[in-house]
């Protein structure tokens, strides 16, 4: 992502002004170059004409060094302190927006000449073209409705119900599908039950998705044992079969549970003393 930038000469470290600063201040050349870059970057963010409020002490706190160093920079002619302000010399030529525009134009011209000579775009030009293509590519369409169904899967016919006409729109395909899914539900019988229920509950008959209503009705019928189930008994939910000899339990005098057979034997044992008398 492009941000603020300033043009810097590749030979900045060997310019006569920089070498003079090294000789006058005793500061290493890499420190001199770093402080100058810090100065120009700070000015680029805070001024449009190269004049900004500041003193040698303020520059020392912003870009490093001390007052003596920035006074030395003034002596080589790269800035001027005037009435509490700092004037960057050559601003319009090197650091202004116009200078940046000229630098970019020159870079584009160089890329164009290079491509004309070699017949292929430079890496920088390729990146620029890719960026421009991305900017002008149309945005992906945002779906505003449900996508259309595939042509290979025909849409199901609408199912409706009316108090006078009854059920309509139930196709043979629906009947076959429901017969496989709900084998215990007799369709015609369940349709008649549903019609009777809807007529008895007219306030709940204002439905829109009748197909969903029927599927839920048939599913409930299937789960409850089918259309012809025994009243009050659902398949798989009734009591487990109990052997005849253990269907009833009795408690003896000793508090012991007895089956039918044990109870009969206990009763016989009780009768024997009485018969003997």
Examine residue 139 and state whether it is found in any structural domain, yes or no: no
Stretch 204-221: mean pLDDT:
84
DSSP string across 119-185: SS--HHHHHHHHHHHHHHSPPPPPP-SPPPPPTTSPPPPP-EEETTTEEE---HHHHHHHHHH-TTS
Q: Which residue has the higher pLDDT, 163 or 21?
A: 21
Q: Cα–Cα distance between 35 and 42 in angstroms, integer?
A: 11
- Tell whether 185 and 91 lie within a shared domain: no
User: Distance between CA 95 and CA 89 in Å, rounded?
Assistant: 10
List the single range of 34-43, 93-102, 195-204 with lowest mean pLDDT: 93-102
CB 194 within 8 A of CB 214: yes
Clarify whether residues 5 and 112 are in a common domain: yes
Query: Distance (Å, rounded) from C-alpha 62 to C-alpha 84?
Result: 16
Among 181, 208, 223, the domain-final residue is: 223
Tell which wins on pLDDT, 88 or 235. Answer: 88
| Domain containing residue 209 | 160-223
- Find the mean pLDDT for residues 209-224: 89
Rounded Cα–Cα distance for residues 62 and 95 (Å)? 19
**Residue 5 binned pLDDT confidence (cut-offs 50, 70, 90):** confident
Beta bridge partners of 166: 162
CA 261 to centroid of chain Cα atoms = 71
Residue 74 lies inside a defined structural domain of this protein: yes
Three-state DSSP class for residue 11: coil
pLDDT, position 68: 94
Residue range 236-253, pLDDT digits in tens: 555 555 555 555 556 656
- Interval 58-88: pLDDT, tens: 999 999 999 999 999 999 998 999 888 999 9
Domain edge (last residue) among 223, 244, 269: 223
Please report whether residue 63 resides in a domain.
yes
pLDDT digits (tens, 9 = 90+) for 109-151: 777 677 766 665 556 656 665 665 555 555 545 555 555 555 5
Whether 43 and 89 map to the same domain: the answer is yes
Domain count, the chain: 2
Residue 5 to residue 209: CA distance in whole angstroms: 64
The pLDDT-based confidence of 166 (bands split at 50, 70, 90) is: confident
pLDDT-based confidence at 1, cuts 50/70/90?
Answer: very low
Query: In the chain, pLDDT over 90 holds for what percent of residues?
Result: 27
pLDDT at residue 133 in the model: 54
pLDDT number for residue 31? 93
DSSP string, 212-274: HHHHHHHHHHHHTT-TTPPTT--TTTSPPP--GGGS--EE-TTS-EE-HHHHHHHHHHHHHHH
Work out the percent of the chain whose per-residue pLDDT is above 70. 66
243 part of a folded domain: no
- Using DSSP's 3-state secondary structure scheme, residue 45 falls into helix
SS3 60: helix
pLDDT tens digits for 47-65? Answer: 888 898 989 999 999 999 9
**Rounded distance between C-alpha atoms, residue 194 and residue 161, angstroms:** 10
98 and 200, same domain (yes or no): no
Select the more confidently predicted residue: 267 or 56.
56
On whether residue 94 sits in a domain, the answer given is yes
Same domain, 210 and 108: no
Q: Confirm whether 87 is domain-assigned.
A: yes
What was the pLDDT predicted at 252? 59
């Amino acid at each position: 992502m492009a941000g603020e930038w300033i043009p810097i000469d590749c030979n900045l470290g060997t310019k006569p002004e920089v070498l003079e600063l090294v000789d006058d201040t005793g500061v290493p050349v890499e420190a001199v170059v770093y402080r100058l870059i810090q100065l120009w970057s700070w000015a680029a963010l805070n001024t449009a004409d190269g004049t900004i409020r500041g003193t040698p002490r303020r520059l020392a706190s912003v870009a490093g060094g001390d007052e003596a160093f920035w006074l030395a920079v003034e002596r080589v002619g790269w800035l001027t302190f005037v009435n509490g302000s700092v004037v960057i010399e050559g601003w319009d030529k090197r650091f202004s927006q116009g200078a940046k525009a000229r630098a970019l134009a020159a870079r584009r011209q160089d890329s164009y000449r290079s491509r004309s000579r070699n017949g292929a775009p430079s890496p920088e030009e390729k990146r620029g073209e890719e960026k421009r293509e991305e900017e002008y590519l149309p945005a992906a369409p945002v779906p505003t409705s449900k996508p259309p169904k595939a042509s290979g899967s025909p849409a199901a016919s609408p199912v409706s119900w009316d108090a006078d006409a009854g059920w309509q729109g139930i196709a043979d395909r629906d009947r076959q599908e429901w017969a496989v899914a709900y084998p215990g539900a007799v369709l015609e019988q369940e349709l008649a039950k549903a019609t009777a229920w809807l007529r008895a509950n007219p306030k709940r008959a204002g439905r829109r998705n009748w197909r969903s209503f029927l599927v839920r009705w048939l599913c409930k019928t299937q789960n409850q044992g089918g259309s012809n189930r025994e009243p009050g008994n659902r398949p798989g939910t009734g009591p487990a079969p109990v052997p005849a000899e253990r269907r009833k339990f009795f408690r003896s005098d000793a508090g012991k549970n007895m089956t039918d057979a044990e109870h009969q034997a206990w009763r016989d044992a009780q009768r024997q003393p009485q018969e003997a008398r």
